[in-house]
Chains A and B, each alone.
Chain A
Amino acid sequence: MKSTVPVERPWLEALRMFARNPSAIGGMVLLASVLAVALLGPWLMPADPFEIAAAPLTPPFSAEAWLGTDYLGRDVLTTLIHGGRATLLVGVVAALLSVVIGITLGAMAGYYGGRVDSALMRVTEFFQVLPALLFAMVVVTLFSPTLVTVTLAIGIVSWTGTARLTRAEFMKVRGLEFVRAERAIGARDARIIWKVILPNAFPPLVVSATLAVGAAILFEAGLSFLGLGDPNQMSWGLMIGSSRQYVLTSWWAVAFPGVAIFITVLAVSLIGDGLNDALNPKLRER
C-alpha cells in the first residue's frame, strides 16, 4: 500500500526516512564499528596498554607495531583500542546525565511557569555564565580525577541547552487541547509531564541528546588532553596529551587517537543529522 493517507505511525515513518538517508546509515556503520572495536578490543588485543611493547618511537606500518609505538614504547594500536573504552563510556554517561538534568529542570520550568520557571531559569543562566571547561577542570582537580568525577563534572556543566529546549517545547504544548483534556479528567501533574507532554517534545530532544554525546566525547578528550582525566585509565585524549611533546619525532602517536575521536564524533553527528531530518520533517528542505 502506498501511504497517501496521513501517516498513522509517525515513528515507523521516521525510521523509514532514517534508513533511506545514506549519510545517517554511514554514521550508524561507523559508530557500530567503533563500538565493536571498543567492546571486543581487549579480547583481540589483550596486552596492557601501559606496557612497553617495542622500541620507543617505532614508526607505524612496521611488523612489531602496526601503528607504531610512542615515546615510551607503548603500542599505539593497543592503547587506541583500550583508550576508546574510557572515552566512549564517559561520553555516553555524561551526555545521559546532562540530558536527564536538562529534561527534568526544563520540563518543570516549562510546565509550571511563573516562579518555578524564573527560579530555574536563573539557575540555568548561572550555569551558562560559568566557563564550562575551566569549571570542570577545577572540579576534577579539587576532587581527584577519576572516571566518576570526570563524568559528573561534564554532566553538570553541559545540561543548559537541553533544559532551554525542553522548556520551550513544554511551553508550546502545555496549553493545547489534549493537555487541557488530561487535566480536566483529573490527571496528576507527574503523569501530564512525563506521559502526555514529554512524548510530544521528543523529536527535537532525541536530536539534541545525540549531539550531546558528541560534545561530551570532545569534552572528555579535552580534559584528558590537559592531563586532567583519570590517570590510571588510558583514553584517546590522554594519548594525545602525553605524546604532544614528542610530536615532531612521532606524529603517529598523536595523529591516530585524534582520527579515532574524529571518526566517533563524526558518526554521532551524522546520526544526529539523520534523526533531525527524519523526526523534524518540516526542516527537511535544508
Chain B
Amino acid sequence: MRAVQFTLSRLLQGLALVLAVVVLNFVLVHAAPGDPVETIAGASGGMSEELKAALRVQYGLDKPLAAQLGVYLGKVAGGDLGYSYFFNLPVAGLIAERVPATLLLVITAVLGAFVIGTVLGVLSSRKPNGLLSQFINTLSLVGFAAPVFWTGIMLVILFASVLPIFPVSGMRAIDSAGASGFTDALDVLHHLVLPALTLGLVYLAQYSRLSRASMLDVLGSDFIRTARAKGLSNRVVLYKHALRNAVLPVVTILGLQFGNVMAGAILVETVFNWPGLGRLAFESVLRRDYPTILGVLLFSSIVVVVMNLLTDYCYRLIDPRIKTS
C-alpha cells in the first residue's frame, strides 16, 4: 500500500517537472526576438504581408500569449506537439521516426560501457595498484578530457582513409533500400560500431573508475571480512557479496546521467550523420523550427523523468533495505 502511494507521489512530481519544462520552453521561445513566420519568409525568399498574416493565423501566432500557452498545453496533453515549420509534418511523428535510431545508439553505448566498466572495475579491485588499475586511471582521465565530437572525427579519419572496415556516416548503406530483414540488421549494426564506440568510451571511462573505487570501498568493510572468515570462495565473495553492493553508486550515476546522454547523442549523431533525435534537434535549432525544438526538449525531459523513476526502482531491486521512505 505504501509502495503504491510512494510511486503515485513520485509520478505526480515527475508530471509537475514535465509541465514546468513545457511552460519554461514556451516562455523562452516567445520571449526571444524574432518570429518564426519571418524566418520562414526569409528562408523562402520573401513573402507578401498578406501571406505572412495568413501564416500567423494558421499557426495561432496572432492570439495572446496566455491563450497560445493554453492551447499548447491542451494539445501536448493529448499527444499533439504541433506541426513542424520546416517539414510541415506533425512533430510527434517526426520524433517517433527518429527515436529508434537514438535509442539504439544510446542503449548500446551506455549498456556496453556499464557492463565492460563494471567488469574492469571488479577485476582491477583485486590488485589496487596493478596494471589494470593504472589503465583505468588513465582511461578515466583521457575519457573525460577528450571532447567526444573530436574523438569521433579522429575515428572517422582513421576508418575512412587508413582502415576502411567500418562505415563512418549514416545508419544504412546508400544502396541498401529493400534489403531483407537480416541483411538490413547487419548493415545497421555495421554502421553502429563507430558512433556507439565514440559515445561509449566517455561512459566507460566513468563507470570503470567509479566501480573500481566502489569495489575497493566495499571490499574494505566488515561484512566482507565475515564472508571470507566463513570460508566462502573468493569468487562468491567478489561477485555475490561485494559486487551487489558496489554496483549501487554506478546505477545511481547511470540514472542521473540520462539528462546529459542527450548532449552526447547530439554531438555524436552530428559527427556520424546518425539519423536520430539529436540530429533532428540540432537541425531544428539551426532552422528555428520552434515546434520541433519544443517537442524534442519535452520528449527528452520526459525520458529523463521516466529514467529517474526506473533508477529508483532498480535501486530497490538491488538493495532491498531501501524502503519507500
Known A-B contacts A218-B147, A222-B147, A222-B267; the reply to A132 vs B153 at CB < 8 A is no
Stretch from B21-29, B176-184, B314-322 at the A interface: B21-29
B residues 288-309 near A (Cβ < 8 Å) are 288, 293, 296-297, 300-301, 304-305, 308
In the complex, the answer to whether A133 meets B149 with C-beta atoms within 8 Å is: no
> Which residues of the other chain, B, contact A137 by a CB distance below 8 angstroms?
266, 281-282, 285
Interface residue A29 (Cβ < 8 Å from any Cβ of B): no
Contact-size category for A: 35 or more
Say whether chain B's binding surface is mostly helix, strand, loop, or mixed: helix
Known A-B contacts A130-B301, A142-B28, A142-B29; the reply to A261 vs B267 at CB < 8 A is no
Total interface residues on B, CB under 8 Å, equals 54
Q: Chain A: residues with CB nearer than 8 A to chain B? A: 122, 125-126, 128-135, 137-139, 141-143, 214, 218, 221-222, 225-228, 237, 240, 244, 247-248, 251, 254-255, 258, 261-263, 265-266, 269-270, 273, 285-286
User: Of A240, A262, A265, A286, which is within 8 A of B153 by CB?
Assistant: A240
> Which residues of the other chain, B, contact A263 by a CB distance below 8 angstroms?
145
> Which residues of the other chain, B, contact A285 by a CB distance below 8 angstroms?
128, 216
In the complex, the answer to whether A286 meets B259 with C-beta atoms within 8 Å is: no
CB distance from A114 to the nearest CB of B (A): 18
Residue of A nearest to B146 (CB): A262
Please measure, in the bound complex, the distance between the C-alpha atom of A251 and the C-alpha atom of B18, giving whole angstroms: 43
Known A-B contacts A128-B259, A248-B157, A258-B154; the reply to A134 vs B141 at CB < 8 A is no
Known A-B contacts A128-B256, A129-B259, A131-B297; the reply to A226 vs B147 at CB < 8 A is no
Please measure, in the bound complex, the distance between the C-alpha atom of A128 and the C-alpha atom of B24, giving whole angstroms: 14
B residues 9-65 near A (Cβ < 8 Å) are 13, 16-18, 20-21, 24-25, 28-29, 31-33
Please measure, in the bound complex, the distance between the C-alpha atom of A51 and the C-alpha atom of B282, giving whole angstroms: 29
Please measure, in the bound complex, the distance between the C-alpha atom of A244 and the C-alpha atom of B259, giving whole angstroms: 27
B residues 108-128 near A (Cβ < 8 Å) are 128
* 0/1 interface trace, chain B 166-177, chain A, CB 8 Å (1 if under): 000000000000
> Which residues of the other chain, A, contact B142 by a CB distance below 8 angstroms?
262, 266
Please measure, in the bound complex, the distance between the C-alpha atom of A263 and the C-alpha atom of B147, giving whole angstroms: 11
The 8 A-B residue pairs with the shortest CB-CB distance in the complex, in nearest-first order: A142-B32, A133-B263, A258-B150, A265-B145, A131-B262, A266-B145, A131-B300, A129-B304
Say whether chain A's binding surface is mostly helix, strand, loop, or mixed: helix
Please measure, in the bound complex, the distance between the C-alpha atom of A137 and the C-alpha atom of B260, giving whole angstroms: 13
Known A-B contacts A126-B20, A248-B157; the reply to A138 vs B145 at CB < 8 A is no
User: Of A126, A228, A262, A286, which is within 8 A of B216 by CB?
Assistant: A286
Residue of B nearest to A133 (CB): B263
User: Of A132, A228, A240, which is within 8 A of B263 by CB?
Assistant: A132
> Which residues of the other chain, B, contact A132 by a CB distance below 8 angstroms?
259-260, 263
B residues 152-211 near A (Cβ < 8 Å) are 153-154, 156-157, 160-161
